[in-house]
Amino acid sequence: MSETRDTMKFATKAIHAGFDYHQHNRAVMPPIYQTSAFAHDAVGESLEFAYARTGTPTRAALEANFAALEDAAHGLAFASGMAAIDAVLRATLKPGDEVIAVADLYGGAYRILDKVLAAQGIKVTFADLSDAANLEAVISSNTRLVWLETPTNPLLGMVDIAALAAIAHQHGAVVAVDNTFATPYLQNPLNQGADIVVHSATKYLGGHSDVLLGLVAVNDAALFKAIKFIQNAAGAVPGPQDCFLTLRGIKTLALRMERHCDNAEKVAAFLQNHPAIDKVFFPGLPEHPGHELAKRQMRRFGGIVTVYLKEDSRAAASRVASRLQLFLLAESLGGVESLVNHSYTMSHGGMPPEQKAALGIREGQLRLSIGIEDIDDILADLAQALAE
Ligand SMILES: *Cc1c(COP(=O)(O)O)cnc(C)c1O
């Protein structure tokens, strides 16, 4: 199928790319190859698949399918989004190098940069890159990697991938984008100048809150080789069941994302006029500082809405979260079901309070992952939870 990769439209690629049923006894779905090893006929025989850490047909189907969705030459699957991030960091950085990361980023990415990399003699600089010119001010000849996330977790900040990639490349740095919130359906960072795309497929790609998995897409052959080397050398790979579940999730990604986006737009409009809400963060709102950029860089605005409650306290956030019936209070996002997250204590619990204050992550703040339930039920649940 790979020869037709460039001509198929997204929803078709999601279902067909990267898998040739002729090679799998005409199985319509990629089979789960639950085996750790593959038998050789003779000593010295070279096999496409020999040992499951290095590769399996189920994982290969996922990697090829995902690469097509990101318009990339290569895809690589990992045991989690963090394992994917770790592999990219290890493949691109060595002691003495510097990484510049967008300051408003996923708590786990912040933790590995701040706690793990910094201890390995790699300089980590967090910067507000909402204005691309800020990168010029902090980039140095030691900067090997620029780490971006857009939209960011949890405040949906936007950064300009093309503008930042142009500056980074002038200085010889590689650009990685965590595309988890947008998904390849809404944004393809490689086409905008980035070198590496990372996903927590645990979120929208899997889409059903039943699998933990990470993905990396690249075009450059040398980067692919370096990250694939870490994938095999360190071995943080997903099992075949998890690859299968992610492949199954991806088949409906286009449908699901349209509904996530529809519902999130309606939720943002509803909350914006609600007396219990101080501020709504959603890139689809004209007053969002990244709105114009979002219109340019993304196809739609995504399924996450974050709010500041009028009463800025943990008690207020806790009261609303407990009253919600449909929205479960959980860490994750991007599943078919609506979830609510208290970023301050949950996704960003590990971030120092000063850092949270600087970024504007408040106690009285909730991040809503808008599911694909009927919008009337979603709005009714929010209305009753926010009532006086
Ligand atoms: C969840 C998440 C991750 C980490 O992925 P895991 O699959 O949980 O390891 C990384 N980046 C973003 C933006 C996320 O939301």
Instruction: Check if the beta carbon of residue 136 is closer than 8 Å to that of residue 166.
Output: no
Judge if the beta carbon of residue 341 lies within 6 A of ligand 1: no
Indicate if the pLDDT at residue 6 is higher than 90: no
Each domain of the chain, given as residue ranges in start order, spans 2-250, 254-386
User: What's the mean pLDDT in 162-167?
Assistant: 98
Say whether 203 is catalytic: yes
Q: How many helices (H) and strands (E) does the chain have?
A: 15, 12
Of 71, 86, 160, 178, the active-site residue reads 178
d(CA 188, CA 182): 9
- Does the beta carbon of 161 lie inside 6 Å of ligand 1? no
Q: What is the mean pLDDT of the chain?
A: 96
Q: Relative to the CA of 82, which ligand 1 atom is closest?
A: 9
Residue 2 is predicted with a pLDDT of 44
pLDDT > 70 in the chain, percent: 98
Q: Using CA atoms, how far apart are residues 84 and 180, in angstroms rounded to an integer? A: 12
Question: For ligand 1, atom 2, which residue shows the shortest CA distance?
Answer: 200
Residue 209, pLDDT above cutoff 70:
yes
Q: What is the pLDDT of residue 7?
A: 82
> How much is the CA Rg of the chain, to the nearest whole Å?
21
> If DSSP codes are grouped into helix, strand and coil, which group holds residue 236?
coil
Whether the predicted pLDDT of 1 surpasses 60: no
User: What are 101-139's pLDDT values in tens digits?
Assistant: 999 889 899 999 999 998 999 999 999 999 999 999 999
- Nearest residue by C-alpha to atom 1 in ligand 1: 200
Which of 194, 193, 197, 164 has its CA nearest to residue 178? 197
pLDDT average, residue stretch 228-241: 98
Which of 33, 106, 110, 185 is catalytic? The answer is 106
| 3.40.50.10190, 3.30.2310.20, 3.60.20.30, 3.40.640.10: CATH of 2-250 | 3.40.640.10
Half-sphere exposure in the Cβ direction for 293 (13 Å, CA): 20
List strands edge to edge, sheet with 174-178.
Answer: 74-78, 214-218, 196-200, 174-178, 143-149, 98-102, 123-127
Q: pTM of the predicted model, to two decimals?
A: 0.96
Q: Of all atoms in ligand 1, which is nearest to the CA of residue 333?
A: 15
Is 344 labeled as catalytic in the residue annotation? no
Tokens of 209: 């809150």
* 263 Cβ closer than 6 Å to some ligand 1 atom: no
The superfamily in CATH containing domain 254-386 is Aspartate Aminotransferase, domain 1 (3.90.1150.10)
